[in-house]
Amino acid sequence: MDSRISSINRAYAEKCSLMLECMDRLLSDGVGYTRPDGGMFIWLTLPEGFFTMELWRRALEKNVAILPGTPFYTDGGGDSGVRLNFSNADAEDICIGISRLAGVMQGYMDTA
């Protein structure tokens, strides 16, 4: 059991690193994100003028699944936060997803 858990932890760490590398390379300045030490998620903080529900809608049109931050707040916050999951995607899909998300975000900025 311990070896299985270690294997899963390594796999998640590799996927997390890959997603962060893609984000470093492709996302524009002003977009912040966590660099987690564990887990399955990266929390993205959007620049001013972005709204997570609109970004979510636009991302879905490009077959990119993101989770708006609003459900994670009890006080009505989260309008600038997005949760990204890297646990279920393979390496190719992670890079494609971040590339598409970057394009969606650029298109959003161009129309704002």
Whether the predicted pLDDT of 28 surpasses 90:
no
The number of beta carbons lying within 10 Å of the beta carbon of residue 74 is 7
2-111: CATH superfamily? Aspartate Aminotransferase, domain 1 (3.90.1150.10)
Instruction: Say if residues 19 and 13 touch (Cβ distance below 8 Å).
Output: no
Banded model confidence at residue 89, pLDDT cuts 50, 70, 90: very high
Query: Angle at CA 42, nearest 5°, toward 5 and 28?
Result: 145
The fraction of the chain above a pLDDT of 70, given in percent, is: 99
Per-residue pLDDT averaged across 20-38, rounded?
Answer: 94
Q: Which of 38-42, 50-54, 103-107 has the lowest mean pLDDT?
A: 50-54
